[in-house]
Amino acid sequence: MFGTIAHAWKIAEIRRKMIFTLLMLVVFRVGSNIPVPGINREVLSQMFDGGTGLFGLFDLFSGGSFSNFTIFALSITPYITASIILQLLTIAIPSLERLAKEGTEGKKKIAQYTRYLTVVLALIQAIGLSVGLFRKALISTDIFSVAVIVLTLSAGTAFLMWLGEQINENGVGNGISLIIFGGIIARVPTAIHTNWAKLIAGELHVVTVILFFVFAAVVVVGIIEIQQGQRRIPVQYAKRVVGRKMYGGQSTHIPLKVNQAGVIPVIFSLSLLQFPLTVTYFAPNSGFSEFVTKWLSPQGDPGVWFYTVFDVLLIIFFTYFYTTVTFNPLEVANNMKANGGFIPGIRPGRPTVEYLNKVMTRITFVGALFLAVIATMPTLLSNFTAIDARFGGTSLLIAVGVGLDTMKQLENQMVMRNYQGFLK
């Protein structure tokens, strides 16, 4: 990894992209420390004195901006939710499905709809925070003051969305994923400090801490293996004569990734699990809020068990859903057939499609199950130990997954750069 970064840094164009990406992440972290105007900091501090509790999911994505109620308190969550809604609607609504298949222009249109929906969702969440959850922390509750806070929070999300798109166009890696990555990494010092304080106070045993770090190391290795693991389907190309030359006859393979969806299912699952919390903004002391706190909280019994079950089911669902979106067996089979390729022992056409579907379904289940276990296990462990698992399985999955994807993009850009240099 460090070798890849070092080699990439020597190439001026890629170095410029890397610097641009880092600067954008610095802007994100600076904004994460700018407080929303009109907030009583002392009251806010008292509200989260015992930790983020049920709202720890929001703090995970925002890098602590939520509990500090800064301009990026909503983080990029509305954008992720909007993306989920649009992708589901693309399957349900024929006109959107046709639009998605229109190539670059169609994707631009859907991206534009996603932006509009993001702003709407950000406004709804901002209103909920201002008039509900954070109401007692407001210095003034008049309409003008609330409007300023709502617009500030919504503008913060819109700015982060723009920031992510700038990274996509001018930087390295996926902008939205890197923003989430930056928020997670920013929480590491806080988690270390909290656990160190507990260790000094005797609330944590040294053996427990050592086992936790061993577990984390094993998880990181497992994530890397699964993220890079693939099933190679052999493909044989028939020989054919064109003029006086013979083409084909060589063997190759189709690499089917064990985890085709990456960390997207985990991010999508977290976003949907946050939806009930969004509703509780408007009435934090209502019966519904009490129900969510009791039955859907990642902390405490019995909520943690129901939360874990929903998390596992959502991760498995989104793994299969996103794999279906990114991998089309029919298209692969048609491309092979058009080029005279076939899988040994499998007839071209429909049998090839069915075979690819069967193999992909099986290996995707392994990837989905792995994601679900790694994402939920630390949540359960932290409920039975005193360890602050702010950097638990979900955080590790996202951090390592985004890191691997970014490294892959760097390598691809280096290969392309060398190829272009060869042509010149």
Give the CA angle between residues 385, 388, 391 to the nearest 5°. 120
pLDDT score recorded for residue 50: 52
Domain residue ranges in the chain: 1-186, 203-391
Percent residues over pLDDT 90 in the chain: 17
Question: How many other CB atoms sit within 10 Å of the CB of residue 167?
Answer: 24
Each residue's pLDDT tens digit, 329-350 = 888 888 888 877 888 888 888 8
Closest to 77 measured CA to CA, from 179, 170, 195, 189 = 179
Residue 389 has pLDDT above 70, yes or no: no
The amino acid occupying position 19 is I
Closest to 272 measured CA to CA, from 321, 301, 307, 303 = 307
Each residue's pLDDT tens digit, 15-74 = 898 899 999 999 999 999 898 988 888 887 777 665 545 566 667 777 778 878 889 988
Percent residues over pLDDT 70 in the chain: 84
Rama region for 283: left / alpha / beta (φ>0; ψ in -120 to 50; rest): beta
The CATH number for 203-391, chosen from 3.20.80.10, 1.10.3370.10, 3.90.1300.10, 1.10.1200.10, is 1.10.3370.10
Is-same-fold flag (1-186; 203-391)?
A: yes
**What is the pLDDT confidence band of residue 148, given thresholds at 50, 70 and 90?**
very high
Nearest-angstrom CA–CA distance, 66 and 44: 11
User: Nearest 10 degrees: CA dihedral of 21, 27, 33, 39?
Assistant: -130
Nearest-angstrom CA–CA distance, 410 and 419: 14
The CATH number for 1-186, chosen from 3.30.70.240, 1.10.3370.10, 3.30.9.10, 3.30.465.10, is 1.10.3370.10
pLDDT score recorded for residue 239: 67
